[in-house]
Amino acid sequence: MKIEYETYVVLISFLTSFFGVFLSNGIIIGVPAIANDFTMNNVIQNWIPTIFFLVMAVFTVPAGQISGKFGVKKSLLIGVCVFLLGSIGAALSFSTESFMLFRIVQGASVAFVNVAAMAMVVSAVKPQNRGKALGFTVTGVYLATSLSPVICGFLVYNFGWRSIFYVVIPFLVLCILVMILKIPQEWKTYENDAIDKFGSLLYAVGILLFIYGFTNLINSTGIILTIAGIILLAVFAVWELRQTSPVFNMNLFKNTKFTSSNIAALCSYLAIMVVTTILNYHFQYVRGWNAQMAGLILIVTPIIMAILAPNTGKLSDRIHPQKLAAVGMTIASVAMFILVFLNNDMPVYMVVIAMILQGIGMGLFSSPNMNAIMSSVPPKDAPTASASQATMRTIGQTMSLGLLTLVFALVMGNLPLSTQYADLIVRSSQMICTISMCACILSIFASLIGIKSKDEFNTSRPN
C-alpha cells in the first residue's frame, strides 16, 4: 500500500510537536538530579526550564519569515538536525555552562521546528483535511504533556537524567530520514523578500524583556522590564507596518477571524496552563497526597484532550471552527467556575468532574481554533500564521506561570509551600482560578466576534 507524502508530513508534525513538549515539560522531573550533578544553586536550577521558553519565544516570529523565504521543509529539516545536536550535547554536558548552552540551542531549534512543521502541514495537506491534520499535531502536544512526567520520572529513576535526552535521538533521526526520503516537495512563500533584520531584533528584545519582566512582577525591576518590553513591541508593530518585507505581516490582523482566533488562543493558554500546577499543589499540600498519586490523577485532563483533538480537528473541517472553539471554552469556563471554590472540603469527585470538563472543553477548542488561525490567512502567509499561533501559546503559557508566581507571592510572601500553610494555598488557588475563568470568558467572546466576522476562510493551499 502506497503511503501519500501528506501522511508523512502529519507524522513529522506529530513527532516534532511531541518531543518539543517532552523536553520542555518532562525536563522538570530531571531538574533536581541535574542540579545535584552540576552543584547548581536554586536560582540557576530554576533557569533550566525557563531559558528554553525564553529562547523559543525570541526565535518564533523570525522563524516564520526565514522558513517562508528559504523553504518550509528545509527549515524544518535544519531545525530538527540542530534539535538533535542540542539533545546530544545536553546529554554529554560536563558543566552548568555547557548544559545551559545546549538548552539555548534546543530552545532556538524548537522555535523553528514548531513554526515550520505547522506551516508544512497547512501547505501540504488538502484544505478539506487540514483540521484533522492539525488535530494530530495538537494530539502530540497533549500526549507529551500527559506522558512526559511519567516517562521522564521512570527514565531519571532507572537510568539517570541524561537518558531523557538520549531517548529522543532515534525519533529525531527518524524525522530527518523521512523528510529526506519521503517528502520531495518544498514550499517557499517569501522567496523574493528580504530578511527584516531590524524588525527581528526589535521583536526579540521586546519579547525577551516582556516575558522576563512579567515573571518578576513582584518587584519594581520586573514592572520596569515589562513596560519596556510592551513599548518595544509597540515600536515593532509600527515598524512592521512600514516595511515591504516585514518579519511579521501586521496587516494579517485586519482579518477579524485571524485576530479573534489569536486572542482566543492567548486567553486560553493564560487560563489553562496554570491549572495543572494549582491542582498539583492542592493534591499534595492541601490534601496530603503523595506525588505519585497526584501525578496519576493529573493525567485525566490531557488524556481527554489528546483523544478529542484529532476528532474535533476533523469536525472543524465541516463545522465553523470558531463555533466549536466557543463551545469548548464555554465548557472550560464551567470547569474553572467549579475550581474557584476549590478547598479541602470539596469532594474529590467534583475536582475530577472539573478536570474532565476542562479536558473536553480544551479538546473542543484547541484544534478548531488552530484551524481557524491557519485557514484565515492567504496560503503564502502560512509560515507567519504558524509563528503567530506559536507566539500566542508561548506568551500565554509564560503569563500564566507569571500569574501563579505573582498571586502566591502576594498572598504567601516568602513562606514555603507546605501543608502548614494549606489555607493560604487555597486562597491563592481560588484567586488564580477566578482570573483564569475570566480569561476563558474573554476567549469565548473573541471566538464569537470571529464567527460574526464577514471575513472568509481560505480553502486553497500553496502549489
pTM of the model: 0.81
Q: What gap in Å lies between CA 333 and CA 268, rounded to an integer?
A: 10
Q: What is the pLDDT of residues 305-334, one digit of tens each?
A: 888 888 888 888 888 889 999 999 999 999
Q: What gap in Å lies between CA 180 and CA 330, rounded to an integer?
A: 43
* Residue of 456 and 438 predicted with greater confidence: 438
* pLDDT(461) > 60: no
Q: Counting beta carbons within 10 angstroms of the beta carbon of residue 24, is it exposed (0 to 12), middle (13 to 18) or buried (19 or more)?
A: buried
Q: Are 64 and 248 in contact (CB under 8 A)?
A: yes
**Distances from the Cα of 131 to the Cα of 148, 300, 391, 418, angstroms:** 25, 24, 20, 44
* pLDDT(240) > 60: yes
- Highest mean pLDDT: which range of 83-87, 130-134, 271-275: 83-87
Cα angle, residue 374 at apex, residues 370 and 379 outer, rounded to 5°: 170
Residue type, 301: T
